[in-house]
């Protein structure tokens, strides 16, 4: 992806040479914690003629390390009052040290905490209202509805099977290696599970579309639109929009979060801290006044750097 993006940047400046003199920055969020440093390094290694006036990069709530990502997610949910202290304390006792990580226990506790923390809550905007339009499922193809329905039935059966134990859910796993060589695995809920849990039946009963307003801490000129993602998805799947964007019609439905894309688990689970350190050193030795910004907000629980 870094090579492909670098070629795209070269093509852009080839087509718009009048932009070459501008300071050039790259930015991303979430998995951009992997993409951006790799792209930055590719630019620095290949931009020997300084054709690209590269000045730095920014990442927001980046996914850098699977262990710290999971730890800070649970901490953020707890600090927002979404997880009860007794449950959180059990997790805290066994799951904060990557070198002494109890896989089975921590995975079970994380699944249970995710189950209680995400009812009616958007983990990517914890203090913001949820989209409650009766909508979204009506705009999803029937095949996708059936797939979601099957998963929902399986989850209900799992949750009903054990009331005194931690319920099992369909998860993928992330593996990391501790400093002493110990291998540990953390669980990650699938995209569809998170989407489903983010809007509970209780929250829909208590709220409605007309009652949703921006959070009180936002400046008056800033409006938060909780249904923007739903509307955006509908818009991008319109035939006229796809035609205007020259999208090849494959019959597939575009979505923000797609489970049919297979990312390399090995790449996903590899901590990227070493790459950030490399870039700092490259900036120093190259003589370029390279600016780097890593920003982690307190409202997106899923990708935080610790």
What pTM was computed for the model?
0.69
- CA distance linking residue 104 with residue 147, whole number of Å: 28
Q: Is residue 29 a contact partner of residue 264, using CB atoms and an 8 Å limit?
A: no
Distances, alpha carbon 196 to alpha carbons 26, 72, 82, 123, 136, in Å? 33, 22, 17, 12, 11
Structure tokens that stand for 48 in this block: 């020997």
Mean pLDDT to the nearest integer, 156-162: 40
Structure tokens that stand for 12 in this block: 């852009």
Backbone φ and ψ of 15, nearest 5°:
-85, -30
The distance in angstroms from the start CA to the end CA of the chain is 26
Q: Is residue 126 a contact partner of residue 81, using CB atoms and an 8 Å limit?
A: no
How confident is the model at residue 208, as a pLDDT? Answer: 40
Q: Is residue 237 a contact partner of residue 254, using CB atoms and an 8 Å limit?
A: yes
Spell out the residues 6+ positions from residue 32 whose beta carbon is closer than 8 angstroms to its own.
Answer: 59, 60, 62, 63
Q: What percent of the chain is predicted at pLDDT more than 90?
A: 29
Q: Closest Cα partner for 130 from 42, 45, 198, 52? A: 198
256-299 confidence digits (pLDDT tens):
877 777 777 788 888 899 999 999 998 888 777 889 999 887 77
How confident is the model at residue 90, as a pLDDT? Answer: 92
258-270 confidence digits (pLDDT tens):
777 777 778 888 8
Q: Closest Cα partner for 112 from 44, 40, 177, 187? A: 187
How confident is the model at residue 171, as a pLDDT? Answer: 42
Backbone φ and ψ of 189, nearest 5°:
-70, 145
How confident is the model at residue 288, as a pLDDT? Answer: 79
- CA distance linking residue 24 with residue 10, whole number of Å: 12
How confident is the model at residue 305, as a pLDDT? Answer: 52
- CA distance linking residue 63 with residue 49, whole number of Å: 32
pLDDT band at 18 (very low <50, low <70, confident <90, very high): very high
pLDDT band at 9 (very low <50, low <70, confident <90, very high): very high
221-259 confidence digits (pLDDT tens):
778 888 888 889 999 999 999 999 999 888 888 888 777
């Amino acid at each position: 992806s870094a090579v492909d993006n670098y070629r795209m940047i070269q093509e852009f400046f080839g087509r718009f040479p009048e932009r070459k003199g501008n300071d050039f920055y790259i930015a991303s969020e979430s998995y951009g914690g992997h993409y951006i440093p790799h792209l930055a390094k590719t630019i620095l290694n290949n931009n020997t003629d300084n054709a690209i006036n590269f000045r730095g990069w920014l990442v927001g709530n980046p996914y850098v390390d699977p262990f710290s990502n999971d730890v800070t997610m649970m901490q953020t949910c707890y600090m927002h009052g979404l997880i009860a202290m007794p449950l959180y304390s059990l997790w805290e006792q066994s799951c904060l040290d990557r070198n002494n990580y109890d896989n089975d226990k921590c995975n079970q506790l994380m699944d249970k905490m995710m189950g209680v923390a995400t009812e009616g809550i958007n983990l990517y905007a914890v203090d913001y209202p949820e989209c409650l339009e009766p909508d979204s499922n009506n705009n999803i193809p029937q095949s996708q509805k059936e797939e979601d329905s099957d998963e929902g039935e399986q989850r209900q059966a799992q949750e009903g099977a054990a009331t005194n134990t931690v319920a099992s859910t369909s998860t993928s796993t992330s593996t990391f290696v501790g400093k002493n060589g110990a291998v540990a695995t953390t669980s990650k809920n699938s995209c569809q599970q998170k989407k489903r849990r983010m809007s509970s039946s209780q929250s829909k009963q208590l709220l409605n579309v007309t009652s949703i307003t921006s959070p009180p801490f936002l400046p008056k000129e800033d409006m938060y639109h909780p249904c923007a993602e739903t509307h955006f998805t509908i818009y991008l799947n319109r035939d006229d929009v796809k035609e205007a964007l020259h999208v090849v019609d494959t019959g597939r439905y575009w979505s923000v979060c797609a489970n049919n894309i297979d990312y390399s688990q090995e790449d996903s689970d590899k901590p990227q801290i070493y790459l950030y350190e490399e870039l700092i050193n490259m900036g120093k030795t190259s003589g370029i006044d390279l600016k780097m910004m890593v920003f982690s907000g307190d409202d997106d629980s899923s990708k935080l750097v610790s």
